[in-house]
Amino acid sequence: MREDAEPRELSAAEFTAVYMRGAGHPFLVLDGVPYPTIDIQCVPCGYAYLDAKLDDDGCFFDIEFVVGVVGAQISSNPSGGGVRDT
């Protein structure tokens, strides 16, 4: 496999072998294809949406796809007296 190959032309396994070497992250494997894991601390909060039309057997609906990661934290409130109550 050439390391100078166009990334879009590589299979997932080839891409991982070339570009994820030494990443130090464990891999998840699905159907023999390795997928690197991502530390959640490296993923910024954010979201995106896409307006679309859904065709349900000739009946059309306006829909919206929403994806993203939002922040959440469970902590203790000393003045409230509870543990993990905030």
Which range is most confident: 12-21, 39-48, 59-68, 77-86? Answer: 59-68
* Span 7-56, pLDDT tens digits: 788 887 777 777 766 655 557 777 877 777 777 777 788 889 999 999 99
- d(CA 32, CA 27) in angstroms, rounded, equals 11
Taking phi first (over 0 means left), then psi (-120 to 50 degrees means alpha), and beta for anything else, what does residue 24 get? left
* Residue 66, pLDDT score: 92
Tokens 């993990």 correspond to 84
User: What is the Cα–Cα distance from 47 to 41, expressed in whole angstroms?
Assistant: 16
The per-residue pLDDT for 53 is 96
Per-residue model confidence as pLDDT tens digits over 42-52:
778 888 999 99
